[in-house]
Structures are given as C-alpha cells and as structure tokens.
C-alpha cells in the first residue's frame, strides 16, 4: 500500500510500527458550533481511510480530539451567557448526532483537552526542564530556534517563516517565531492551576499531549485538514520531538479543502452549510459519495447540484442491488451452475482492481469507478436465468466494496421507496387540484429515473424499468 506523506512530499510504502496495527490521530473539531460540510469532508476522508485499513486487515486505534478550550470557545460561551464547559458538553452531543448521521465510525477515543490538564502541564514542565520552553509572567513559550527540525513539515525555511512572523512582534517572546504552550489567565477566562499560575493550554499542545498519552510517543498516522500543516502540525512536531527525542508521526496525511460553488465557504458569502442542514434532505450515502468522488489531496467543489447528481449516482448503484434482491426472490435454481463459476471469478477481478486503486494513496475516485463498472457488468449479465448463489455473491461483493467508503449498506432500498411513495402522493394531490402540469412533471421526473407509474383501479403502482 502506498500513502502520500506530507513530511517527505512523496508517496511511500505503508508500514506500521507494530505489524498489523495502526495508531492514528486526527485533529477534531472545536466544539462551539454545529460542524460544517468542510469539516465533514475531512472527517469522512479519514473515516474512509480508517475503514479501508480495517478492510485490509489492520487493527486501527483511532483517536480524534475535541478542542473544548480556546479563544473561540470562550467568546461563544460569553456571547451565549453560558460556561465553556456547558458549551462543550452541548456541541459534543450535537457532534455525535451529525457524525452518526454521516455514518462516521465512532473513534476508539475522543479525548477532550480539558480532561487532560495534568498531562498537559507535565508536558509543558518537561519542555521547560529540557530547555525548549521558557516562562514569561505566567505564559510559557516554545523556543522554535532550539528545535532544529522546525519547518520540516511545511517545507518552509526558518528565515521565510521569521520574515512573516515579524509583522506580529510580541515583546514577551524571545523570538517572533516562538509560540505559546501555556497562556496566563486573562480576566473572566476559565483557568487551571499550574506551576506558572492560573492559566490554560495553547491549542497545539493538546494534540501533542493526547496523542502521546493515548497512542504512544511515535504514532503511525497523524491527520487533519490541509490548513493544519502550518502552524498547528509543525508546532506539534516541534513540541513532541523535543520532549521525547523520537519521531512523532511516521505518516502525515492532509485532506484538501472543500469549496462551495468554487468559492471559499463563509457565512458572509452566504454559502455556508452545516451537516445538519444537508442531512435533512440528503442521505449519508449521497454526502459521502460526493465527498469521496474526488481524490482527498485535491480541492473539492460542493454545490447542491453536485449533491443531486451524487444522489442519482448512488441510486444507480442501489438499483443494481435492488434488482439482484428482486431476482434472488424469483429464481428457482439455488446452487451456482458450472457455467457460472468463471463468471463469478471474473466479478472478483473488480475487487482486485478496487484494492489496487485504494492501495494507491486511497484513490476513492477511481475505486468508485470500479464500483460502477461492477454494477454495469452485473446488470448486463445476471438475469432470471442465474442461480441464487451467483446473485447473492454479486450483491455481497457490491456491499463489500461499498463498506470502506461507508456506502451501500442500507438493508434494502427503503429510502428510495419512501421517496417514491411521497412523490406519488404529491402527484395524486396535484391531480385532485387539477394541477396537471405538476402531476405530469412528477411522472416525467420519475420516468427519467427509470420509474414508471401505472394507474390501476386499485390505485397507482410503480415499477422499475
Ligand atoms: P476546526 O473545527 O475548524 O478546527 O476544523 C476541524 C477539522 O476540519 C480540521 O481538520 C480542519 O482542517 C478541517 N476543515 C475545516 N474547514 C475545512 C474545509 N473547508 N474543507 C476541509 N476541511 C476543513
Ligand atoms: Zn490537532
């Protein structure tokens, strides 16, 4: 298996520290709001990578943190007249609702920064003891110049970084590149007791600390959105490697950003969608399909039109499964026939192709094409003359290859059927109101999707074409 490593800027053969096991840390959300579809892309991508590693037989320990103390949390809690703790509790609960809605597998652990204060303080103490960090009036800064590898992840040299940082000179720091690992309490802020007085951790230190505590000093995969390469992950490396003297993460994987209608998503541009909004109208399979339709290292465009076309694509795949299920109920022959054996083997070639694509740096876009080729082959070659064993094997294969992508697992076509019934009802209503144009439009739209309506004395029936 090959994985692109941001650290070396190359695709590398994937090996793990302990054979058969993967320790993976993903930077999670700051829990002050519902999460948006940009976050969803990153979470879906790393959920898929995790599922695929499991599919390939690895035992994966998957840690994704909740940032539950930082400036944004404090501001939002003040705005809402609540405590940072309550705000965190509330949005963690909401996070799970949306994450479950997107079929994200639950992490092995979702640590909260505020629950690791003792470990974070010990980490900072360790850095000071080793001479990598220094205290100034209750703040503690990391001395970037002391860590010779600074800049290695983002591929920037320290002079360039410094030139940028000079704009933001801060008298308390010995060097403009230094960053806070511990922040002294300001009036009204929540704070914890520490050897440097009341204060709270900087953002980067929580991930260094929780990764070490839960996964060990060297982990296999560290991941996050591409905006985190600098400074967040660069700073994590500096802190962790200074403290332990060991490599922090063996593979750094970053997911490119999602744009909306080809623009950066932002509330002011009115192109901001939460996962909650989208899941009201679209199934998780559809959202995941869209998010995985491009390679994770390439920016992805999102729009409602693209979601609609993803929906039609997912339906095509589910239609193949529904046809197989229908055939299965109606054929007589049970066991696979002699002449079908070669054909079944030829279907298993799609599995090999799929694995080849996914093994190449998790190329979900190409893996999805393989799924369509498989569906087409099945639609053409499996019929009422086939045996049940062949039909079932074909269905199992589609579902097996859908699983790492988190799609095609619905037990039957429940959501499609529900939707069609709803549309038929709407059409009946339109006819009662003599709105023939709408009634015809609904019938034609369904027809375009391969669904034919028949008016019978018993009411309207529908069938797949
Ligand atoms: P945040 O809550 O902003 O810290 O983000 C949580 C995760 O979502 C991080 O890994 C971010 O890099 C990622 N993320 C934020 N915005 C986007 C976006 N528009 N596209 C893809 N990933 C994003
Ligand atoms: Zn992080």
Q: Based on the fold, state whether residues 330 and 248 are members of the same structural domain.
A: no
Tell me the ligand closest to 232's alpha carbon: 2
Give the separation between CA 355 and CA 336, rounded to whole angstroms: 26
In a domain, 448, yes or no: yes
Question: Which residue, 449, 463, 33, is CA-closest to 275?
Answer: 33
Structurally, how many domains does the chain consist of?
Answer: 3
Residue 263 is assigned to a structural domain of this protein: no
Q: How far is the CA of 233 from the centre of ligand 2 (A)?
A: 7
**214 in any annotated domain:** yes
What's the CA-to-centroid distance between 449 and ligand 1, angstroms? Answer: 35
Question: 296 lies in a domain?
Answer: no
Q: Is the CB of residue 202 below 6 angstroms from any atom belonging to ligand 1?
A: no
Residues 91 and 211 in one domain: yes
Q: What is the pTM of this model?
A: 0.89
pLDDT tens digits, 216-250:
999 999 999 999 999 999 999 999 999 999 999 99
Give me 227's structure tokens.
């905006």
d(CA 239, CA 244): 9
Q: Which range has the worst mean pLDDT, 26-35, 152-161, 301-310, 386-395?
A: 152-161
Res 263 pLDDT > 80: yes
The ligand minimizing its distance to the Cα of 301 is 1
pLDDT for residue 453: 86
39 ligand 1 Cβ < 6 A = yes
pLDDT one-digit tens code per residue, 335-348: 999 999 999 999 99
pLDDT at residue 464 is higher than 80: no
Q: What is the mean pLDDT of residues 84-113?
A: 98
Instruction: Report the atom number in ligand 1 closest to the C-alpha of 256.
Output: 21
Percent with pLDDT over 70 in the chain: 97
User: How far, in Å, are 3, 11, 223, 249, 368 from residue 360 at the CA level?
Assistant: 7, 9, 17, 20, 14
Together in a domain, 443 and 310: no
Domain containing 437 equals 415-464
Ligand nearest to the CA of 236: 2
Q: Do the Cβ atoms of 288 and 309 come closer than 8 Å?
A: no
pLDDT, position 269: 85
Taken in order 55, 58, 61, 67, the sign of the CA dihedral is: negative
The yes-or-no verdict on residue 420 having pLDDT over 90 is: no
Looking at the structure, do residues 220 and 248 belong to the same domain, yes or no?
yes
Could you tell me the CATH number of the domain that includes residue 181?
Answer: 3.40.50.620
What is the CA(47)–ligand 1 centre distance, in A?
14
Assess whether the C-beta atom of 400 lies below 6 angstroms from ligand 1.
no
42 alpha carbon – ligand 1 mean position (Å): 6
Q: Which of 235, 255, 275 is the last residue of a domain?
A: 255
Query: Is residue 230 in contact with ligand 1, taking CB distance under 6 Å?
Result: no
- Same-domain status, 168 and 217: yes
Nearest-CA residue for ligand 1 atom 18 is 38
């Amino acid at each position: 298996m090959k994985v692109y490593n941001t650290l070396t800027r190359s695709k590398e053969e994937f090996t793990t520290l302990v054979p058969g096991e993967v320790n993976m840390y993903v930077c999670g959300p700051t829990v002050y709001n519902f999460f948006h579809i940009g976050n969803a892309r990153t979470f879906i991508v790393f959920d898929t990578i995790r599922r695929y590693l499991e599919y390939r037989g690895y035992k994966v320990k998957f840690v994704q943190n909740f940032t539950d103390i930082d400036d944004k949390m404090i501001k939002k809690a003040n705005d809402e007249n609540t405590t940072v703790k309550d705000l965190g509790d509330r949005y963690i609960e909401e996070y799970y609702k949306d994450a479950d809605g997107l079929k994200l597998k639950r992490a092995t652990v979702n640590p909260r920064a505020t629950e690791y204060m003792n470990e974070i303080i010990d980490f900072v103490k360790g850095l000071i003891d080793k001479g990598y960090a220094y205290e100034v009036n209750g703040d503690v800064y990391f001395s970037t110049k002391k860590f010779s590898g600074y800049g290695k992840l983002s591929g920037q040299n320290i002079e360039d970084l410094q030139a940028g940082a000079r704009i933001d000179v801060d008298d308390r720091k010995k060097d403009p590149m230094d960053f806070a690992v511990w922040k002294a309490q300001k009036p009204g802020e929540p704070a914890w007791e520490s050897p440097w007085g009341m204060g709270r951790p900087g953002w980067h230190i929580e991930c260094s600390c929780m990764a070490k505590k839960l996964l060990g000093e060297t982990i296999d995969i560290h991941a996050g959105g591409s905006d985190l390469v600098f400074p967040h992950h660069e700073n994590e490396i500096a802190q962790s490697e200074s403290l332990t003297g060991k490599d922090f993460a063996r593979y750094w994987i970053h997911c490119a950003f999602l744009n909306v209608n080809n623009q950066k998503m932002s509330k002011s541009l009115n192109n901001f969608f939460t996962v909650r909004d989208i899941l009201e109208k679209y199934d998780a399979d559809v959202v995941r399909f869209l998010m995985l339709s491009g390679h994770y290292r390439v920016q992805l465009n999102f729009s409602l039109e693209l979601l609609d076309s993803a929906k039609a694509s997912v339906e095509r795949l589910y239609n193949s499964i529904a046809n197989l299920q229908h055939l299965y109920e109606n054929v007589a022959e049970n066991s696979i026939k002699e002449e079908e054996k070669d054909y079944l083997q030829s279907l298993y070639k799609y599995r090999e192709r799929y694995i080849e694509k996914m093994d190449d740096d998790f190329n979900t876009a190409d893996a999805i094409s393989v799924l369509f080729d498989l569906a087409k082959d099945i639609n053409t070659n499996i019929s009422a003359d086939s045996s049940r064993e062949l039909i079932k094997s074909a269905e199992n294969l589609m579902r097996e290859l859908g699983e790492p992508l988190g799609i095609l697992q619905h037990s039957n076509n429940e959501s499609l059927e529900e939707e069609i019934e709803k549309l038929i009802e709407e059409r009946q209503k339109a006819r009662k109101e003599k709105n023939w144009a709408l009634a015809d439009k609904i019938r034609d739209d369904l027809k375009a999707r391969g669904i034919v309506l028949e008016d019978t004395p018993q009411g309207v029936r529908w069938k797949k074409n």
